[in-house]
A = this chain, B = another copy of it.
């Protein structure tokens, strides 16, 4: 391994003073553009590594922003991260990422690791079994901003970026009612996760608003609603008596998988059962029939959450983070063939 290149090495090499090199690298106006260019080139050629690290120790900034996601292996989280990285990179911040794998214990460990490695801020989408938020207290104490996104915390001193899941589920369920469905089942993920609990509420409220009784036996709750769960869910649906004529399923991959297994049982979509999914994932557009869904702007959510974080860190935000309790993004119903009983 080579010795670190210093500004003294660059100065010696170019026959200028170390002060000039230091000033040039810090873009000081006293150094001529031509000289700066020469020094930049030499620094790059010689493999000079600016001592951001030591500088950070002095400024107490790392320029690292931590992100804790439930799982990296998710379409939705991938698009959120893409939006976050775009904004962070543009502002000179790095993204440090870890996954809780839906385990509160791992979330706590990740949070501690982020704290100890001194991230400037933390963005979190909560694990499904997160029962308290005490592990974020050290951040609040030290004034390190924490912003929740998608799966946000219901506490007064936290900021969250999310869509209105109650309203979105209300709109989705109401659409099924308007298509003539009289017996609508709902497939939900663990209601420990805020987004699923809220969608279940929206489903209930939509029924109530149209004077349709809420029946618990029409709700299937699973810890993981994904492609693999489709077969099991369809078995449960087929045991409902009478069969439902509409399904509101809390994500698209699961909706597509259920649709496949329902078709294998001879159920016609949408004639026998109309289906609405959630997220507007690519899969909802490529299956047959195409699935009606809620467009959930993941990329935009990532951008908004990160912009808020950086504005806060740069002190350009109008109001302190704690005053902005919730930022709600627009979502919308996209109507496709899977729910269109009336054509």
Chain A interface residues (CB < 8 Å from chain B)? 1-2, 47, 49-50, 52-54, 56-57, 62-64, 71-75, 77-79, 81-82, 85-86, 89, 94-99, 101, 110, 113, 115-118, 137-138, 141-143, 227, 253, 256-257, 260, 282-283, 285-288, 299
A73-B78, A81-B97, A97-B81 given; A53·B63 CB < 8 A: no
- Alpha-carbon distance between A207 and B117 when the two chains are bound, in angstroms: 54
- Alpha-carbon distance between A267 and B50 when the two chains are bound, in angstroms: 60
Task: Give the oligomeric copy count.
Answer: 2
A142 adjacent to B47 (CB under 8 Å): yes
A49-B142, A257-B286 given; A85·B97 CB < 8 A: yes
A78-B75, A82-B71 given; A49·B97 CB < 8 A: no
A53 nearest in chain B by CB position: B118
A78 nearest in chain B by CB position: B78
Having A82-B99, A253-B282, one finds 10 other A-B pairs with CB under 8 Å, namely A2-B142, A2-B143, A47-B137, A64-B64, A71-B82, A73-B78, A95-B97, A96-B97, A283-B286, A287-B287
Please name 14 pairs of A and B residues whose Cβ atoms are closer than 8 Å in the assembled complex, sorted by A. A47-B141, A49-B142, A53-B118, A54-B57, A64-B117, A73-B79, A77-B78, A227-B285, A227-B286, A256-B286, A257-B286, A282-B283, A283-B286, A286-B287
